[in-house]
Structure formats: C-alpha cells, structure tokens
Amino acid sequence: MSETILEVSDLVVEYTTSTEPARAVDHVSFSLARGEFLGIVGESGCGKSTMLFAIAQLLSPPAQLVSGSVIFKGRNMVELSGSALRALRWRDYSVVMQSAMNALNPVKTVAAQFEDAMRAHGQKDRAAIRARSREVMALVSIDAVHLRSFPHQLSGGMRQRVMIAMALLLSPDLIVMDEPTSALDVVAQRSLMVQIKELQRKLGFAIIFVTHDMSLVGHFSDRLAVMYAGKIVEMGPTRPLFAAPQHPYTRGLLDSFPSIHGPKVALSGIPGAPPDLTAMPSGCRFRPRCSAVMPRCAEIEPDLYPSGETRSRCLLFDRRAA
C-alpha cells in the first residue's frame, strides 16, 4: 500500500451569519496517498473550496474550523501555530489559487516573488535562487526570460503556470489547487491539465484538485470525491465512478455534460438548487432534487455505503434496510 500523506477526519467548517451559522463543510473525512491525484467536484457553493482552505489552514473570518483534524505527514495542522504553518507552506505543501492574477503580487516581477518564497525558507544564495527559478520555469514550459516579467505582462495561462512553478520551488509533497483552470479557455485548460499530470508523474507529489467541472478531471485524477451541501456524497476510483455513477447527484452531474462519443443525447441536468446551508432539509440533503426519492429519505440522514466500486451517501445502498 502507498504511504498515507494526508488524513482528514470529521472536518467541520462554519460561516458566521446574522442568524444561524452556515455549515459549509460537515464532517468530511478522507485520506490521500503519496503521489495520488484526488479530484473534488460538485456545484458552486457545495463546500469544495472551503474544505480546501481548511486543509491548508488558510481560513479567515467569518469562516471558522469548528472541529476535526488534518494530519499531514504525522502532524495535526489544526493544532500548529502560525509560525509553524508558515514553515510548512511552500516547503511541504503549496496552494495554487483560483485566480493567479490575484494571488501574484502585481508590483513585483516573477523572479522577485520566487526569491521571496525561497528566502523565507532559508535559501540565501542568490545564484542558487536564480538557478532554481529557471529550473521550475522550464518545468512548466515558460522561457526564463519571463522571470523579469510582471504578472500583467503574462497571459492567463502563463500566470497559472507561473503559480504552479512557484508551488514547485521547494519540491513539496502536496499541492492543493483551487479551480486553477476556471479562467482559461478549453484549449488552455487541457494543456495545463496535461502539464500538471506530467509534472506529478515526474516529481511524485500528491494533488488535491478542486473544480466544478467533472469532465476536466475525468482523465487525470486517480480518485474523485463528489460534494453536495457540505458533505461527500460519493467517492471512489475515477474510472469506475465515471463508468457507473451510483449516487443520483453524481449521475445528474454527469448528465449535465455533453459526451463527444456515441449518439446525441439531450442534456437533463439537475432540477432545483442546492439547499440553504443555514437550514438543511431533514434526512437526505439531496432529497428535494432527487429523482429516486423514497419516503424514508425525509427521515434518515444516510451514511457513506459501499456501492459497487465506490461509496455513496444514498439509502438505495443501505443494506441494513434491505
């Protein structure tokens, strides 16, 4: 078995509101092996990015981590001080934000930002910093001449690749990515995804990749976790999950994307909208939108049950009831 590098247990994150707290992440648990590519998918507002920020310990008010643990390489990051977390970031794990233009400093060149990150982790040799900067730029297929560029002088795709290069500066074991392709056209998305996967194969780091587009990670991830209303509703190996989705929500998501193979089929989508996070429906959270709803779905909140090669949070797979 591969070494487990990350263990997330019973993670709960809430946003403070003027009325009831909005629980954006509700008792989420999963593990990640060294070198694994885990995709986190779901509609906007289902808690994907909040969960990622909780794992990376980057939450800020009104969000707060209520309970749970994030064990990374044997250490619970929830209990670490700010200085201890700063020592880990970039060196042991990195974060690639959704918008590189906002994540990069607009008044510093790429080279200056790389230098800041490396100096913060003890590398003082300027020649070594320049050499490593050129090396990571080559890894993401950008000419080293652009180290002298400011972020606004680069295209969207180049900025995202610069962020990935920056994430690789100190050879971390884990990179978490929050919808890094959302601002790119489909050709640039595909190119960037191919490059990310190649880098992972070459360097061996693990990836948590958050997106709302299931088709984007279908060919690149090892496992998928499907989130809805703050919970993981289905999780399993990517190929079996795509071939035979078990949870009605997963099937609805896949039916929302056109296929490039086979006969033309009308897109069905999912009726309705995700629930208010301050007032969840009783029982199954997907019940108001589900085509397979049963009377007991209003009374019982389902667990994650074995369902073929995946695990699904649906009473259809509750063998005890059967």
- The rounded distance, in Å, linking the Cα atoms of 158 and 188 is 10
**Residue 216's domain is classified under what CATH number?**
3.40.50.300
Q: Is residue 75 part of a domain?
A: yes
> Domain range for residue 222?
4-92+172-317
Please give the model's pTM, rounded to 2 decimal places: 0.92
Q: List per-residue pLDDT tens for the chain, 322 residues long.
A: 479 999 999 999 999 999 899 999 999 999 999 999 999 999 999 999 999 999 999 999 999 999 999 999 999 999 999 999 999 999 999 999 877 667 899 999 999 999 999 999 999 999 999 999 999 999 999 999 999 999 999 988 899 899 999 999 999 999 999 988 877 788 888 888 999 999 999 999 999 999 988 888 888 999 999 999 999 999 999 999 999 999 999 999 988 777 666 677 777 778 899 999 999 999 999 999 998 999 999 999 999 999 989 999 999 999 876 5
Give the C-alpha separation, 80 to 166, whole Å.
24
Q: Is residue 310 part of a domain?
A: yes
- Is 28 part of a structural domain of the chain? yes
CB count, 10 Å around CB of 38?
Answer: 23
- 258 occurs within a structural domain: yes
Residue 292 lies in a domain: yes
Domain-embedded: residue 125: no
Is 167 inside a domain boundary? no
Rounded Cα–Cα distance for residues 23 and 13 (Å): 6
Tens-digit pLDDT profile for residues 143-171 = 999 999 999 999 888 998 999 999 999 99
**Residue 154 within any structural domain of the chain:** no
CA separation for the pair 130, 296 (Å, rounded): 63
How many structural domains does the chain have? 1
**How far apart are the C-alpha atoms of 285 and 301, rounded to whole Å?**
8
